[in-house]
Amino acid sequence: QVQVVESGGGLVQAGGSLRLSCTASGLTFDAYRMGWFRQAPGEEREGVSCIGRNTVTYYSDSVKGRFIISRDNAKNTLYLQMNSLSPDDTAMYYCAAAADGRRWRTPPCGSDDYKYWGQGIQVTVSS
């Protein structure tokens, strides 16, 4: 049974930083591409950043240059370092996983491209 669990969210002031972690179990982690998504109240879920098996990355325009995605296959853990946070980054953040036999130049980062999802963790940025 695949489980994906996020941690590291919370409240931070604008301009601050947070690091989200996502630990996956029940899967061969290095055979999966991983992603971070977020959803603010009243808005659709957005693909924030995704990383392939070969560590190629995708970032949405809204976070490019501020967020960094990484993975530690030995720890079955995905990270999202979030810097220069603004109130617009306030949302529920989700980690997601998908088995993947391909080596992408840019990993897919749409909600439909991922099968396994965590329950989400709240990130709130105060102004």
Buried b (16+ CB within 10 A) or exposed e, 71-92: beeeebbbbbebeebeeebbbb
- Residue 70: which of 34, 43, 46 has the closest Cα? 34
What is the spatial distance between Cα 69 and Cα 34, in angstroms, rounded to a whole number? 10
- Residue 6: which of 19, 22, 17 has the closest Cα? 22
Element (H, E) at 63: none
Q: Taking 90 as the threshold, does the pLDDT of residue 103 lie above it?
A: no
Look at residue 58 in the predicted model and tell me its pLDDT.
97
- Residue 38: which of 95, 81, 80, 86 has the closest Cα? 95
| pLDDT 10s digits, 38-51 | 999 999 999 999 99
Q: Taking 90 as the threshold, does the pLDDT of residue 121 lie above it?
A: yes
Cβ pair 71, 52 in contact under 8 A: no
Tokens of 61: 């325009």
The DSSP bridge pattern shows strands 91-99 and 121-126 to be antiparallel
| pLDDT 10s digits, 56-95 | 999 999 999 999 999 999 999 999 999 999 999 999 999 9
